[in-house]
């Protein structure tokens, strides 16, 4: 009988879906980890806030400024989390207030374990105390990792922080970084606004494609208010070519992934800025229909990815994963696109390519992709 009651209680955790009013489109912003790791401090964050506004990134839609692991140091006698004052001498609230004064939002990181992945204080057992602290500081986004737990299921630990966040008088976007341990796409939408399905991305072509392939498996589970998260962007960190970074950004956009910049935006190249601020590609990511694009066709490294957009439009990427140029064709009927005449627009070049009714094909360079939008004529 005891085992039956425990099973029923575990099911009750997931009765109420998360309805906190945020994440109706994928979040856009910046996160410190991919570039800075534990070498993050107040000066970097403040400079990033200034640059997001002055560079035009905020105007392009990037609003969250998120500090990842290594900001916390300890807990006081009342259990309240304390920042590392060597790196953040003025605490967290002053940075949140500064972000808000610039029209931006502020995010922090914690962990559904006793300690974070860098062995700093986690939130397991302190969920309500931490949620109230985030409210006090003005936090808008919480990335919640999965290291150093008590061995219990993520399905038990992650809803505890959800419930704590719902009790406070502040709306916080809840990003569940569970790594795909227990297939979070199947239950994440009742718990969080987004959920990681994979391990960490690395700044190279192979890792990026492996990550998006894994994320693709769960495409049907995503939608407004709850998104599959294939990890943060590596665009601008130097491990890929410009064309590879365009593929990276294009795939994340059509997959409706969170667009969280992971480079040093205070020192980014013009190529990086142009990729990150292409308004037509961003519009694909932020399309209100909220349908995650998928891998639709794949033969010998020649692939077609895509999905529907609002107003009967469609987005496609002709992706060449191979090492030599290849002609790639998108057959509309085969891809499930309803019959009709479509204006095809190259989203990177920002130009119309003509009207097509049955298919579109193009010669694609290696490690490159052509991103197009189909609009009914």
Q: CA of 285: how far to CAs of 8, 34, 147, 253, 288, in Å?
A: 38, 21, 30, 4, 9
Query: Choosing from 163, 200, 213, 346, which is the catalytic residue?
Result: 200
Residue 257: name the closest of 234, 282, 227, 277 by CA.
Answer: 227
Distance CA 373, CA 30 (A): 27
Distance CA 339, CA 358 (A): 7
In a domain, 1, yes or no: no
Residue-wise pLDDT tens digits, 64-117: 999 999 999 999 999 999 999 999 999 999 999 999 999 999 999 999 999 999
Mean predicted confidence (pLDDT) in 22-34: 98
CATH number at residue 247: 3.20.20.70
Q: Is 69 a catalytic residue?
A: no
Question: What's the whole-model pTM score?
Answer: 0.94
Containing domain of residue 312, as a range? 294-376
Give me the pLDDT at residue 17, please. Answer: 54
Give me the pLDDT at residue 19, please. Answer: 87
Domain count, the chain: 2
In a domain, 5, yes or no: no
Q: Are 50 and 82 in the same domain?
A: yes
Distance CA 3, CA 124 (A): 24
Residue 16 has pLDDT above 90, yes or no: no
In a domain, 10, yes or no: no
Residue-wise pLDDT tens digits, 302-361: 999 999 999 999 999 999 999 999 999 999 999 999 999 999 999 999 999 999 999 999
Query: Choosing from 69, 111, 140, 145, which is the catalytic residue?
Result: 145
Q: What share of the chain is helix, strand, coil (3-state, %, to 5)?
A: 30, 25, 45
In a domain, 12, yes or no: no
Q: Is 200 a catalytic residue?
A: yes
Length of the chain: 377
Give me the pLDDT at residue 74, please. Answer: 98
Mean predicted confidence (pLDDT) in 30-51: 98
Q: Are 213 and 66 in the same domain?
A: yes
Q: CA of 164: how far to CAs of 9, 96, 171, 173, in Å?
A: 18, 20, 11, 13
């Amino acid at each position: 009988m005891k085992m039956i009651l425990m099973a029923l209680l575990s099911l009750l955790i997931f009765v109420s879906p998360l309805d906190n009013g945020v994440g109706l489109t994928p979040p856009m912003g910046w996160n410190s980890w991919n570039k800075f790791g534990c070498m993050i401090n107040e000066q970097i964050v403040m400079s990033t806030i200034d640059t997001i506004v002055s560079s035009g990134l905020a105007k392009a839609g990037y609003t969250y400024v998120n500090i990842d692991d290594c900001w916390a140091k300890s807990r006081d006698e009342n259990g309240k989390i304390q920042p590392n004052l060597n790196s953040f001498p003025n605490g967290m609230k002053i940075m949140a207030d500064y972000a808000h004064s610039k029209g931006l939002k502020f995010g922090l990181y914690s962990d559904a374990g006793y300690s974070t992945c860098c062995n700093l204080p986690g939130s397991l057992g302190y969920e309500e105390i931490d949620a109230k602290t985030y409210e006090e500081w003005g936090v808008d986004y919480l990335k919640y990792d999965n290291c150093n737990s008590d061995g219990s299921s993520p399905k038990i630990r992650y809803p505890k922080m959800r419930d704590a966040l719902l009790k406070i008088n502040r709306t916080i976007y809840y990003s569940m970084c569970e790594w795909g341990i227990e297939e979070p796409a199947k239950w994440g939408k009742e718990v969080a606004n987004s959920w990681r399905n994979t391990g960490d991305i690395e700044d190279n072509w192979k890792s990026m494609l492996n990550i998006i392939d894994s994320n693709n498996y769960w495409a049907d589970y995503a939608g407004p208010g709850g998104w599959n998260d294939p990890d943060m962007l590596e665009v601008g960190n130097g491990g890929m070519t410009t064309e590879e970074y365009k593929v990276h950004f294009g795939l994340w956009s059509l997959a409706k992934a969170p667009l969280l910049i992971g480079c040093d935006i205070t020192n980014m190249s013009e190529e990086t800025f142009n990729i990150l601020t292409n308004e037509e590609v961003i519009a694909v990511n932020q399309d209100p229909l909220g349908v995650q694009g998928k891998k639709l066709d794949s033969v010998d490294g020649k692939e077609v990815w895509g999905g529907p957009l609002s107003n009967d439009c469609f987005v496609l990427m002709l992706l060449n994963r191979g090492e030599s140029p290849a002609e790639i064709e998108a057959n509309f009927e085969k891809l499930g696109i309803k019959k009709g005449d479509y204006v095809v627009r190259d989203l990177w070049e920002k130009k119309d390519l003509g009207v097509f009714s049955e298919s579109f094909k193009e010669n694609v360079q290696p490690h490159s992709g052509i991103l197009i939008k189909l609009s009914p004529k």
